A and B are shown apart, each in its own frame.
Chain A
Amino acid sequence: MTSHSESVRWDAALTELAEQRYPRLLGRAMLLCGDRELAGDLVQEALVATLKTRRTFESIAQAEQYVRRAIASRYVDTVRSESAARRRERDVFEHTIVSDHAGAVGAALDVASALRTLPPRERACVALRYLDGLSTKETARALGLSEGSVKRYLSDGIHALNGLLGSHELPRRGHASAGGAL
């Protein structure tokens, strides 16, 4: 267990997250929303939401984990509150980006493309559960959803991904879990 003296102040965490950890955070946001500019906004908002809730963290890894959850939460909230017109506009933009890059970057981006065909809540649930290793309960809490809804989104999302990618098995519970519950 990390001692109090080894805790990381929020401003030091910001420096680390803004430098060394930023590509992973931005990449995660891009995986969710498909747009680099919007991804930058999501990361910025997630940093604020995370750092203003506490002054210290047990570790940088814990702070990063919290930011990743906040990215998913912000993404769902943003989509939830957008008008239908703006949502349609972004969907068109997303499809453009996907088709431009899919052939060039290969299989990894095909998975990203498939992920972005999922509705936003399914997408966020899959990311938190299977990339960050959260339980359904933790995922529900992070996204402000009921646990039953999360289970439904996960089931639908994985079913759709299997169909798109030709996979047949449920993914293992994911990697990169760090820190406790928010």
Chain B
Amino acid sequence: MSSLGDMLSGADDAAASEVSGARLDDLRRQAVRSKVRRTHARRVAVRSSIAAVAVVVAGIGGVYVFNDGAVAPAADSGGSVANEPSETPSPSPVPVVTDWPGFTGEVTEDPHLPTASALTPEVWTQVQPGWSLVSYRERWGEGSREGSGPQVVYLASPTGELFEVTRVDGDTVGVMAWQTGATTAAVSVQPEGEAPYMGVLDLLTGEVTRKGDYAPFIWSFAFLAADGTPVWRGSDGTDTYMTIAPDGTALGYVMPAYKGAAEIAARETGLEDCDPAAAFDDESVLVQCRDAEGAAAVVRVWTQAGRAELLTNFDARQPTRVADAVVAATGSVGLEDCPTHYTVISGREPEGVPGWDDFAHPLPEVFPPFGAAGSLFIYGATSGCTGDLTPLVVFASDFATGEGAVLVPFPEARPEGEEPFETVTGVAVGR
């Protein structure tokens, strides 16, 4: 009689024989190659950035202090306390132009750019909150085969039309904040081999003015504020929350009624590790809980009333609110934190955000949301995960109409060695 080990080995061999002619198909192989290349290239970029930041620390004695690559209030401000506002200046007024400001109306034709139209006076008059500013530059390859395309900033309508706003020469920029109708936007700037910094981009000329020696794009996305603005968390361990004003000013963010929410959620779920994740106008707070065994839950807590509502009992990341709904990244695959889609978790049954089923692309791993405006939810998908997030596709879901749109499509097929690992460098949802 065969041993169980031999029987298992036989089953393993039989399973392989059953698919003996199988080969990894071209689409899957290209997806693997693209993700791996991007990760390797990204690691080099991150190492360069960290090294550059370390050099700048010695030269800064003013308002901001770099700490492990993050931004925090100056040391003499008394230190940073979790969820307390940081001492940042009031934002400067952003000039908002309603008349046709005189964009060039040109469209840059290049195989490494998405299809776009000219920005015309007629289009400009239609721009309203929910339109997004998108900075785009493709990077591809590895080592001697590495390359990058032209850098262009687009306006994206909620229904998926792209209009070229300006070309930006030189350093890579990522748009961070923009007010509808304004001709400037807050951008993060990544100079080659130097420390990143915040700047203000002139949308008419494509020129960048340095704003300060801090670099919010190395902060991590935390959640969307009640008005849909992204809230960023400092990566220095202090849990300092900040938002970025359209003029590039970093503003402290205070989460209302968070105190006691984690304890109430822990009692409700029986899970040990609970953290407030986002707030509503009625002073209720979303709390994410998990434990060491992998159990997870999202709870909405009304702290003052001592009330809690369990929204999920499955793994859902980055719960955040869009209009009156709560959405979260779900479908994550394991320890590497690769959620595959956004799900509305506040309804009777969990369901994908509007239009999700139409968003077919080869590499569905969702990126932290870019923002929300009214009923619109703007978010991205990326080909990688595990700390090397760069969006390759941008989507919009409209909770009012129940429909969705692709704002920036997945790059079309490229020649061997030119698969992009980076395309969209930033998205700012106009408000």
Closest partner residue, chain A, to B294 (CB atom): A80
Determine which of B9, B15, B22, B36 lies in contact with A48 in the assembled complex, contact meaning CB atoms within 8 Å: B36
Distance, CA A23 to CA B14, complexed state (A) = 11
Number of interface residues of A (CB under 8 A): 58
A31 adjacent to B3 (CB under 8 Å): no
Which A-chain residue is minimally distant from B314 (CB atoms)?
A: A83
Question: What residue in chain A is nearest B386 (Cβ atoms)?
Answer: A52
Partner of B8, one of A14, A22, A81, A130: A130
Q: Are A23 and B33 in contact (CB under 8 A)?
A: no
- A111 at interface, CB cutoff 8 A: yes
- Chain B residues 320 to 367 lying within 8 A of chain A, measured CB to CB, are 331-336, 350
Contact indicator B4/A162 (Cβ below 8 Å): yes
Q: A10-B36, A14-B32, A52-B35 are in contact. Are A108 and B10 (CB under 8 A)?
A: yes
Asked if A47 is at the interface of the complex by the 8 Å CB criterion, the answer is yes
Main secondary structure on chain A at its contact with chain B?
helix
B221 to chain A, nearest CB (A): 21
CB of B20 closer than 8 Å to a CB of A:
yes
A121 → chain B, closest Cβ, in Å? Answer: 11
How many pairs of A and B residues are in contact by the CB < 8 Å rule? 146
Contact of A161 with B32 in the complex, beta carbons under 8 Å: no
Contact, CB under 8 Å: B12 / A169: no
Docked CA distance A126–B31 (Å) = 30
Q: Which residues on A sit within 8 Å (CB–CB) of B36? A: 10, 14, 48, 51-52
**Which of A28, A40, A170, A171: most chain B CB closer than 10 A?**
A171
Q: In whole Å, how far is A63's beta carbon from the nearest beta carbon of chain B?
A: 12
- Within 54-84 of A, Cβ neighbours of B (below 8 Å) are at 55, 73-74, 76-78, 80-81, 83-84
Instruction: Kindly supply a per-residue 1/0 record for chain A positions 131-166, scoring 1 wherever the CB is within 8 Å of any chain B CB and 0 otherwise.
Output: 100000000000010000000000000100110010
Interchain CB contact (< 8 A) of B3 among A14, A48, A167 = A167
| A49 CB within 8 Å of chain B | yes
CB pair B334–A80 under 8 Å, yes or no, is yes
The docked-state distance in angstroms from the alpha carbon of A80 to that of B39 is 25
A55 touches B9 (CB 8 A): no
Complex Cα–Cα for A9 and B14 (A): 30
Asked if A171 and B29 sit within 8 Å, CB to CB, the answer is no
Q: Which residues of B contact A74 (CB under 8 A)?
A: 333-334
Q: Hey, which chain A residues are within 8 Å of B413, CB to CB?
A: none
Partner of A44, one of B6, B24, B40, B315: B24
Shortest CB-to-CB span from A120 to chain B, Å, is: 12
Judging by beta carbons under 8 Å apart, are A27 and B19 in contact? yes
Question: Quick one: closest A residue to B312, CB to CB?
Answer: A83
Provide the residues of chain B in CB contact with A49, threshold 8 Å: 336
Neighbour of B4 across the interface among A31, A55, A169, CB < 8 A: A169
B interface, by DSSP: helix, strand, loop or mixed? Answer: helix
CA distance A176 to B10 in the complex (A): 13
Note all chain B residues with C-beta closer than 8 A to A173.
5
Asked if B11 contacts A14 (CB within 8 A), the reply is no
Does A172 lie at the interface of the complex (its beta carbon under 8 Å from any beta carbon of B)?
yes
Given A74-B333, A130-B8, A172-B3 in contact, is the A14-B18 Cβ separation under 8 Å?
Answer: no
The answer to whether the Cβ of B23 comes within 8 Å of any Cβ in the partner chain is: yes
A45 in the interface (beta carbon within 8 A): yes
Q: A47-B32, A48-B36, A109-B14 are in contact. Are A81 and B332 (CB under 8 A)?
A: yes
B15–A28 touching, CB < 8 Å: yes
Q: CB < 8 Å: which of B20, B28, B29, B32 contacts A23?
A: B20
Contact A44 B32 (CB under 8 A): yes
A119 in the interface, Cβ–Cβ < 8 Å?
Answer: no
Q: Which 7 A-B pairs have the closest CB atoms?
A: A77-B334, A171-B5, A27-B16, A27-B15, A108-B14, A18-B24, A111-B11
What are 21 inter-chain pairs, A to B, with CB distance below 8 A? Answer: A10-B36, A18-B23, A23-B16, A23-B17, A26-B22, A27-B13, A27-B15, A27-B18, A27-B19, A44-B31, A76-B334, A77-B335, A81-B331, A111-B11, A112-B11, A165-B4, A167-B4, A170-B4, A170-B5, A174-B5, A174-B8
List residues of B whose CB falls within 8 A of some A CB: 1-24, 28-29, 31-33, 35-36, 39-40, 294, 314-315, 331-336, 350, 384, 386
Supply 6 further A-B pairs (C-beta < 8 A) apart from A11-B33, A28-B16.
A14-B29, A22-B24, A30-B15, A31-B15, A76-B334, A109-B11
